[in-house]
Amino acid sequence: MKDNVDYAANLKKLCNRLRRELGTPAKPDPLDPVSEILLACLTAYTTESQAKTALHHLQKAFVDFNELRVCRIDEIAEVFGARFPHAKDIAGQIITLLKQIFDRQDHLNLFQSGGKREAKAFLESLEGSTPYLISRVMLYCLNAHSFPVNASLLEMLRNENAIDPAAEPAAVQTFLERQIPASKIQKTYALLRHYADHYQPGTAAADKNPSAPKTPRKKTAPKNKTGKKKPAKSQ
């Protein structure tokens, strides 16, 4: 990316500001790899909160992931609801991925042996897999130094002048991984992702998150017509 030094400085300022306004996010509860794959399919197009709700609905609607694997696209999309973005595309992606995983190993248990390199190679070999999905699963399931970049995160970082606006998602991911140390990457991702999910240009981060602690403004004495402050009343 062009002018990496300037963008790196802006990214650092953005992260520091968000930590002050929103606080440090809690590390998410770990999920099994297949659940994380499904969540990656969902979070590519919607917010973390909406995606987790959709995953919960899937888990309630079907006995297990094996039943989900043999369902029709329309059945899964119906569980998401009519307003869920790209519902049929996501449903098709989920079926495609689950079928391949099962056909290759006769079960849906993943990453029980082998290292990060083998896990990444396996994910890359799956039809329907995407760089975002691979990065997210590696981040959360294998604690890899990886930073998933979806459309909403990319747009937010561009608007905040934290990345080169002409950079492709792969270049942005590489840039973020270079700037953010492995020890902080999960929490920094959660922080930036939360901000991106509620992003409105020109609005303070705390205004997007009602639960974020806000510093109360200091009260000043009212001014009289001459512009001078009125003396405070004695108690």
| Band of pLDDT at residue 101, cut at 50, 70 and 90 | very high
How many C-alpha atoms does 48 have within 13 Å on its Cβ side? Answer: 15
- What pLDDT shows up at residue 218? 42
Q: What percent of the chain has pLDDT over 70?
A: 84
Q: 198-219 burial string, b = 16+ CB within 10 Å, else e?
A: bbeeeeebbebbeebeeeeeee
Query: Is residue 133 domain-resident?
Result: no
Residue 140 lies in a domain: no
What is the predicted pLDDT for the residue at 3? 59
Is pLDDT of 85 > 80?
yes
| Contact status, residue 8 vs residue 17, Cβ threshold 8 Å | no
* Structure tokens belonging to residue 67: 């039943």
Predicted confidence (pLDDT) per residue in 131-179, tens digit: 999 999 999 999 999 999 999 999 999 999 999 999 999 999 999 999 9
Query: Where residue 12 falls among pLDDT bands split at 50, 70, 90?
Result: very high
- The answer to whether residue 68 is domain-embedded is yes
Which of 211, 227, 192 lies closest to 14 in space, CA to CA? Answer: 192
Asked if residue 60 belongs to a domain, the reply is yes
Share of the chain above pLDDT 90, in %: 77
Domain count of the chain?
A: 1
Share the mean pLDDT of the chain.
87
213 pLDDT band, cuts 50/70/90, is very low
Residue 41's Cα: distance from chain center in Å? 12
The domain in which residue 89 lies consists of 33-109
Burial label, 130 (beta-carbon count in 10 A; 0-12, 13-18, 19+): middle
Cβ-count burial of 61 within 10 angstroms (0-12 exposed, 13-18 middle, 19+ buried)?
Answer: middle
Q: Residue 47: its pLDDT value, please?
A: 96
Please give the C-alpha separations between residue 176 and each of 157, 173, 189, in angstroms, as whole numbers.
11, 5, 10
191, pLDDT greater than 90: yes
Q: Is residue 37 part of a domain?
A: yes
In a domain, 88, yes or no: yes
Q: Does residue 189 belong to any structural domain of this protein?
A: no
* Within a domain: 149: no
pLDDT in the model for residue 217: 39
